[in-house]
């Protein structure tokens, strides 16, 4: 179910992906056309857009690692901003290391900016 900005639950429809990996919803934005943009993780980071009735319009995948994922998103004029985490390919001395991740896309999901923030001291 989707939760609107006021904290209420919109129980008119639920989104369940029909195929592919399990997708864990981390953030959602209500779009000006009445649809939704959904972001999260599941075998990488993903963006799903829906129409006002919850029908899937598009699905885009980002990142390379199983543990990459978007944690928050914002709908911007002309696109989206995502904050997330990227898993380092090599573990650190105490185990896996995650970096901060910022991705800006166009409204159709094309990557405009992709920046990883490393800080492993």
Instruction: Convert the pLDDT of each residue in 39-92 to its tens digit.
Output: 988 778 889 888 988 888 988 988 876 778 888 999 888 899 999 988 776 766
Cα 43 from Cα 49, distance rounded (Å): 18
Whether residue 2 is contained in a domain is answered as no
Whether residue 29 is contained in a domain is answered as yes
Whether residue 9 is contained in a domain is answered as no
Q: What is the pLDDT of residue 113?
A: 94
Please name the residue that has the structure tokens 């543990």. Answer: 67
pLDDT greater than 90 at residue 95: no
Whether residue 68 is contained in a domain is answered as yes
Listed in sequence order, the residues at least 6 apart from 69 whose beta carbon sits closer than 8 Å to its beta carbon are 24, 26, 40, 41, 42, 44, 45, 63, 84, 85
Whether residue 48 is contained in a domain is answered as yes
Q: Cβ(77)–Cβ(84) under 8 Å?
A: no
Q: What is the pLDDT of residue 92?
A: 67
Domain coverage including residue 81: 22-117
Whether residue 28 is contained in a domain is answered as yes
Q: Cβ(73)–Cβ(29) under 8 Å?
A: yes
Q: Kindly report whether the global pTM for this prediction surpasses the value 0.85.
A: no
Whether residue 11 is contained in a domain is answered as no
């Amino acid at each position: 179910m989707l939760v609107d900005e006021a904290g209420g639950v919109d129980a008119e429809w639920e989104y369940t992906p029909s195929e592919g990996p399990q997708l864990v919803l981390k953030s959602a934005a209500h779009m000006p056309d009445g649809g939704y943009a959904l972001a999260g993780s599941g075998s990488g980071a993903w963006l799903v857009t829906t129409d006002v009735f919850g029908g899937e319009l598009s699905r885009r995948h980002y990142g390379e690692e199983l543990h990459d994922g978007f944690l928050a998103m914002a709908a911007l004029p002309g696109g989206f901003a995502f904050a997330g985490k990227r898993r380092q390919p090599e573990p650190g001395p105490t185990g896996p290391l995650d970096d901060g991740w910022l991705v800006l896309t166009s409204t159709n999901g094309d990557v405009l900016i992709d920046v990883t923030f490393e800080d492993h001291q």
